[in-house]
Amino acid sequence: MGIGYSLVCRKCGYTRNLFAGCGMMYNEVLREKSEKARRGEYGARLKELFEKYPDGCIDAMNNIYYCKDCRAVECESSLDFYKPKGDERNAEDDIFGPDMNEYELVEKHEHICANCGMPMEEIMRLTDETPVCCPECGELLENGHMLMWD
Ligand SMILES: [Zn+2]
Ligand SMILES: [Zn+2]
């Protein structure tokens, strides 16, 4: 289940649809992204964490990231790294997906803006107060309608 946001610029008409959360294929997505992370495709740090905590897992939920420097908005998997609270992971996690209550956060993944190389900020929830500006003209973007997906 995911929530989509539609961002609208009243000044120049720019619109952007973003989808946060996860879809019904979450377990599949998670498996695929975990494999990539283990291989180091998301950077050396995640690879290192998987080597240190082989039972760990990543959060593949989509989040919205915003670059204050160049106003880029991206929707990406969080890739925060978790490890089991106990000694080992529950075997059922492989079938049903990890129960995040049984895991604890080890490290948050730093999202770097592909556009300018600055760290991006995670936006938990788009509200009227969220200062996300239009990449085209710099005007404050407004929340359009919410979209539900999956
Ligand atoms: Zn605009
Ligand atoms: Zn940027």
Confidence of residue 150 (pLDDT cuts 50, 70, 90): low
For ligand 1, the distance from its centroid to the CA atom of residue 131, given in whole angstroms, is 13
| Distance (Å, whole) CA 22 – CA 10 | 29
User: Percent of the chain at pLDDT above 70?
Assistant: 91
For ligand 2, the distance from its centroid to the CA atom of residue 30, given in whole angstroms, is 27
Q: Are 109 and 79 in contact (CB under 8 A)?
A: yes
For ligand 2, the distance from its centroid to the CA atom of residue 72, given in whole angstroms, is 5
Reply yes or no on whether the pLDDT at 98 is more than 90: no
For ligand 1, the distance from its centroid to the CA atom of residue 2, given in whole angstroms, is 26
For ligand 2, the distance from its centroid to the CA atom of residue 63, given in whole angstroms, is 16
List the domain boundaries for the chain. Answer: 2-149
Taking only the tens place, the pLDDT of each residue in 10-51 is 999 999 888 877 777 888 889 999 999 999 999 999 999 999
Angle between helices 44-52 and 26-39 (to 10 degrees): 100
Reply yes or no on whether the pLDDT at 118 is more than 80: yes
For ligand 2, the distance from its centroid to the CA atom of residue 100, given in whole angstroms, is 31
Residues with CB under 5 A from ligand 2 (ion): 67, 69-70, 72, 113, 115-116, 118
Q: Look at residue 129 in the predicted model and tell me its pLDDT.
A: 58
How many CA atoms lie within 13 Å of 76's alpha carbon, on the beta-carbon side? 20
| Dihedral sign, Cα of residue 126, residue 128, residue 134, residue 135 | negative
Residue with tokens 């079938």: 95
For ligand 2, the distance from its centroid to the CA atom of residue 33, given in whole angstroms, is 24
Residues with CB under 5 A from ligand 1 (ion): 9, 11-12, 14, 134, 136-137, 139
For ligand 2, the distance from its centroid to the CA atom of residue 116, given in whole angstroms, is 4
Residue with tokens 């993944």: 109
